[in-house]
A and B are shown apart, each in its own frame.
Chain A
């Protein structure tokens, strides 16, 4: 079976020459929950964008057996779905229904299938009652859940999430943790919150200055206080 993600020697520099990603090598099997940890500006978000084919550098990125190129991009985006850091960027349609239906409609599903996908996604994130609400009428926690519903409705094999716990209160963060833990998909989560990463991920990849510093068992990496401090992170309180 093809790997969920295979990245070989991938490098990317911003137009001003700043190296964002430097010779990244990463392989991820299906069904895993991977935490991309690292300080601000480490290159986590850029790596997520590279996995979805939004930044083009040197090297090779293969998603679910398909190498990222113009020909494969449509198929890749049906199997790997990205959830952006700011839910206001993710939720761009006038109502929640239209937002969640956007992906399935672009996939060419029938109206009945689209309605069923929307209903399922809303039920999964617990927002069934909000189907006709405008995104600006939702709370921060609801917006985050709705943003995840927009990718769930596409039934992707892999979901990437950029700082999904950002600006959430503890209750909403716990709800989000439960939701993400219950998903059968391969999850790749970029976060600076070590407790969040430790509670969810079985594997961690520490990124700093565009390079992979450490890759392995999440608890093992996150309990190395010297490594964590050296890269501006902290050992999660749940591991200490």
Chain B
């Protein structure tokens, strides 16, 4: 079955794709921290920060439509938070942009800042996962010190989430094929519980089979992988460029902070 993978563009080839996953991860982490720590009055500065991740997306030939679609997919969670701001902070404020100025409340400013920060940091995250294979990202995280147990769990999650989704689809289709009339809420609930139970039992079954497959290949409890990550000159140049970009913008925003 076809799945819409979040990392479906990670298997392309471009200079961004070829960068080391650790370098990309650290740059995105620092970038996110910098953007999140910007003051609420710096909405226009956020637009400058957005240049970074979007430039990466364009350079890596990731369709911007895909990036925006992913941002929209997760936006409802942030929208609730952002749109509640104007309700509890109605302090009047004036916003000036060049010769133009208009009045609004601090709540609205906070709302725009949250939405701006969310868009910029999400685009950076999408640039990371769209240009880095999940496995390379996991290996990178492990090399950066993430506990091995967590890396293994994430690896299994990524490997089997699609198998689980497939099974759920098959069960739903089987139910749809035989459900010829509305059965009422109670009956539907009972069927849903049985379906969930079936998925659960099959997951345990799969786990047992995976355990056999691992032991059959001499697994003794120690997780061994062959890391193929290598930091090259291009990674240093990328890290330096990212540092200069962030430092330059910080100097730009510094007068606003004072």
Q: Interface on chain B toward A: helix, strand, loop, or mixed SS? A: helix
Distance of A52 Cα from B225 Cα, bound (Å): 24
Asked if A128 is at the interface of the complex by the 8 Å CB criterion, the answer is no
Asked if B185 is at the interface of the complex by the 8 Å CB criterion, the answer is no
When distances are taken between beta carbons in the complex, the residues of chain B under 8 Å from A111 are 226
| Minimal Cβ-Cβ distance residue in B for A147 | B213
B163 touches A88 (CB 8 A): yes
Asked if A102 is at the interface of the complex by the 8 Å CB criterion, the answer is yes
Chain B residues within 8 Å of A, Cβ to Cβ = 3, 11, 133-135, 138, 155-156, 158-160, 162-163, 206, 209-210, 212-220, 222, 224-226
Stretch at the interface among A13-21, A91-99, A163-171: A91-99
Distance of A52 Cα from B226 Cα, bound (Å): 26
| Minimal Cβ-Cβ distance residue in A for B212 | A54
State the Cβ distance, B174 to closest chain A Cβ, in Å: 17
6 tightest A-B contacts by CB? Answer: A103-B217, A89-B209, A94-B135, A106-B218, A105-B224, A82-B216
Q: B209 contacts which of A84, A133, A134 (Cβ < 8 Å)?
A: A84
Which residue among B11, B217, B222 has the maximum number of chain A CB atoms within 10 Å of its CB? B217
State the Cβ distance, A74 to closest chain B Cβ, in Å: 6
State the Cβ distance, B22 to closest chain A Cβ, in Å: 17
Chain A residues within 8 Å of B, Cβ to Cβ = 49, 52, 54, 74, 77-78, 81-82, 84, 86, 88-95, 97-98, 101-103, 105-107, 111, 114-115, 132-137, 150-151, 154
When distances are taken between beta carbons in the complex, the residues of chain B under 8 Å from A89 are 206, 209-210, 212-213
Q: List 26 A-B contacts (CB under 8 A).
A: A54-B216, A74-B218, A77-B216, A78-B218, A81-B217, A84-B212, A84-B216, A86-B209, A88-B206, A89-B212, A92-B156, A92-B160, A93-B159, A94-B134, A94-B159, A98-B135, A98-B225, A101-B225, A105-B226, A106-B217, A107-B218, A132-B11, A134-B133, A134-B134, A134-B158, A136-B162
| Minimal Cβ-Cβ distance residue in B for A107 | B218
B213 touches A84 (CB 8 A): yes
13 new A-B contacts at CB < 8 Å, known A89-B210, A101-B226, A106-B222: A86-B209, A88-B163, A93-B135, A94-B158, A97-B226, A102-B214, A103-B217, A103-B218, A132-B133, A134-B133, A136-B3, A136-B159, A137-B11
Distance of A190 Cα from B156 Cα, bound (Å): 28
Distance of A229 Cα from B159 Cα, bound (Å): 42
If A92-B210, A136-B163 touch, whether A98 touches B215 (CB-CB below 8 Å) is: no
Q: Interface on chain A toward B: helix, strand, loop, or mixed SS? A: helix
Distance of A234 Cα from B126 Cα, bound (Å): 55
| Minimal Cβ-Cβ distance residue in B for A87 | B213
When distances are taken between beta carbons in the complex, the residues of chain A under 8 Å from B159 are 91-94, 134-136
Distance of A89 Cα from B209 Cα, bound (Å): 6
State the Cβ distance, B211 to closest chain A Cβ, in Å: 9
If A106-B220, A135-B159, A136-B159 touch, whether A92 touches B226 (CB-CB below 8 Å) is: no
Which residue among A93, A111, A133 has the maximum number of chain B CB atoms within 10 Å of its CB? A93
State the Cβ distance, B127 to closest chain A Cβ, in Å: 20
When distances are taken between beta carbons in the complex, the residues of chain A under 8 Å from B225 are 98, 101, 105
Distance of A90 Cα from B159 Cα, bound (Å): 12
Distance of A107 Cα from B163 Cα, bound (Å): 29
State the Cβ distance, B187 to closest chain A Cβ, in Å: 31
Which residue among A89, A114, A115 has the maximum number of chain B CB atoms within 10 Å of its CB? A89
| Minimal Cβ-Cβ distance residue in A for B213 | A90
State the Cβ distance, B144 to closest chain A Cβ, in Å: 17
B133 touches A151 (CB 8 A): no
State the Cβ distance, B85 to closest chain A Cβ, in Å: 40
State the Cβ distance, B58 to closest chain A Cβ, in Å: 24
A82 touches B212 (CB 8 A): yes
When distances are taken between beta carbons in the complex, the residues of chain B under 8 Å from A54 are 212, 215-216
Which residue among A52, A105, A154 has the maximum number of chain B CB atoms within 10 Å of its CB? A105
When distances are taken between beta carbons in the complex, the residues of chain B under 8 Å from A93 are 135, 155, 159
